[in-house]
A and B are shown apart, each in its own frame.
Chain A
Amino acid sequence: MRFMMMVIPRGYEMAAPDALPTADAVARMMEYNKNLQKAGVLLALDGLLPPSTGARIFYADGKATVTDGPFAEGKEVIGGYWIIQVRSREEAIEWARRAPMSINEIIEVRQIHEMTDFPEDVQKAAQGFEHPANATAARHE
């Protein structure tokens, strides 16, 4: 099963657009990433720029309204994520426990839906979707 581990860093909701992690923090994170990789569980990872560079699209009345970041109401915002493949929810949690986090930071662990989890009618509704990766796959080899 696949899980997404989302990092919710303290203060990131109000971080300046050019906020960058320190070399020390990056070094500790790389050590952790390497351990995930060495264990063969790491599938993907990314870090996200602060919300002050982003935007939220609200559908309050069903119509899209765009608000630029930072967001006054946002207290817990995502700073990055890992996708890991493990045998159990507990294993995902154990990996999250090993991450080099600072005081007040949060990691949220969530399982990724597999298409086979859905009932047949939902799978049918998803049929024929031509994944964009198919077009980009050709660039390899």
Chain B
Amino acid sequence: MSDIHKTIEAVWKIESTRLIAGIARVTRDIGIAEELAQDALVRALEQWPEEGIPGKPAAWLMTAAKRRAIDTLRRGRMLELKHGEIARDLEFQQQRLGEAMEHALDQVIDDDVLRLIFTACHPVLALEGRVALTLRVACGLTTAEIARAFLVPEKTLGQRIFRAKKTLSEARVPYETPRGDELHSRLESVLSVVYLIFNEGYTATAGDEWMREELCNDALRLGRILAGLLPGEPEIHGLLALMELQASRAAARRGPKGAAVLLPDQDRGLWDHAQIERGMAALHRAQQLGGGARVYALQAAIAACHARANTVADTDWERIVLLYDSLLQVSPSPIVALNRAVAVGMAPTPQYGPAAALNALDAIADEPALTNYHLLPSVRADLLLKLGRYAEAGQELRRAIAMTENRREQDLLSGKLTQIPNIQHDA
């Protein structure tokens, strides 16, 4: 890619969200707005290499989009426009649209961006559609980039976005920021999309490494944008805190040759402490706003316990157990219960410890969600090892190995198996 194209791409990354948001204020349809913005980008790609980057690239793009919109209208193809007030008279329509665009061009307001994000994350869409559309309109990613990040063919991703836009249009989803009670349920959908984007980058081990790291950063960027637009919503700060705190460990999570390094084994000097500080500040904000007991904030508070500890032994495991107790109340799940049991096993207080943790595991052993979950026998094995019950630990490790298809995971478990003293490894 030439330098000028890289620059245009960068301008697009910076401007596209507000551009699409501004146009959509007039068209009331994300799909049309996005196409008009794309047309403007195509014009830029044609003209800027010859004429140079304009002094005000955002205004240039908006003007190009406006011309394109009027042009389209002139050819009578704007019937899809959902602007109910637009009169039938073509000339009037053109003038009206021109003025509206001019106005939208002058000042893209924050609410435009918010409307854009809420609409892209509308529950009428399938989750994968929400994710793709959000990355496209709110993060300025190309279809090719999103496809690469999610390891799906570009064509599939293109169809996914096309379908999402069509669904929004057909469902006549109002282009607006929800208010009152609806805001909170819809915000949940937005936050789950953001966290899914983050996790896609954070947890998967396959795929283009750089792309995945950028996916985490895109999610963080979205989180910060939302925190700026709706500063009074504690769960946004809670999610932002959770993402910052998890991402702060990124450099320590990858060992040589890409092998995963688990939390207890990480070099804590590699954690990004400036990022930890940002995470702590966001968590503090969530708690100040009264959202300390919500799902994301609680998970962030658990991550914060790890972030504060200089060693595994330094970790405030008792506090982590209590936080898991709270988390189980607001969001009961066998996985959370399993994580709680791990913390119980680590806590040095008399009522906790490995034996208590084994009891806690027994209580969730029959959960259908855990039937084929290799971490259950794997955690059990760790606890049995601590109690010196080596033969049982070996059995659990073998069960765990049989349950996972992930090679790295298998290697990790086999490594533990060979380290068990006094048992027959081939039994």
Contacts and interface: CB of A to CB of B under 8 A. Distances in A.
Q: Do A and B come from one complex?
A: yes
Interface of A: 37-44, 85-88, 90-91, 93-95, 114-116, 120, 123, 126-134, 136-138, 140-141
Contacts of B304: 137, 140-141
Interface string B196-222: 000000000000000000100100111
A40 B228 contact: yes
B299 to A, nearest CB: 14
Nearest to A91: B10
Contact of B9 (A88, A128, A132): A88
Interface stretch (B70-78, B277-285, B339-347, B359-367): B277-285
B13 interface: yes
Interface of B: 3, 6-7, 9-11, 13-14, 57, 110, 113, 214, 217, 220-225, 228-229, 251, 254, 256, 267-271, 273-274, 276-278, 280-281, 283-284, 287, 301, 304, 307-308, 310
Contacts of B6: 88, 90
Contact of A88 (B10, B274, B284): B10
A127 B273 contact: no
Nearest to B304: A141
A41 B57 CA distance: 19
Contacts of A127: 267, 269-270
B221 A41 contact: yes
Contacts of B13: 86-88, 91
B210 to A, nearest CB: 9
Given A38-B225, A39-B221, A131 B10 contact: no
A66 to B, nearest CB: 29
B165 to A, nearest CB: 24
Contacts of A134: 268, 273, 276, 307-308, 310
A141 B220 contact: no
A42 B224 CA distance: 9
B298 to A, nearest CB: 12
B14 A94 contact: yes
B281 A140 contact: yes
Contact of A93 (B7, B57, B270, B301): B7
B278 A43 contact: yes
A23 B143 CA distance: 44
Contacts of A133: 273-274, 276-277
A87 B201 CA distance: 14
Contacts of A138: 308
Given A37-B228, A40-B221, A137-B308, A116 B281 contact: no
A87 B217 contact: yes
A40 B197 CA distance: 16
A140 B214 contact: no
Contact of A114 (B251, B268, B310): B251
A40 B223 contact: yes
B220 to A, nearest CB: 7
A44 B308 contact: no
A86 B110 CA distance: 21
A116 B269 contact: no
Given A44-B274, A87-B217, A134-B273, A38 B228 contact: yes
B236 to A, nearest CB: 12
A103 B310 CA distance: 48
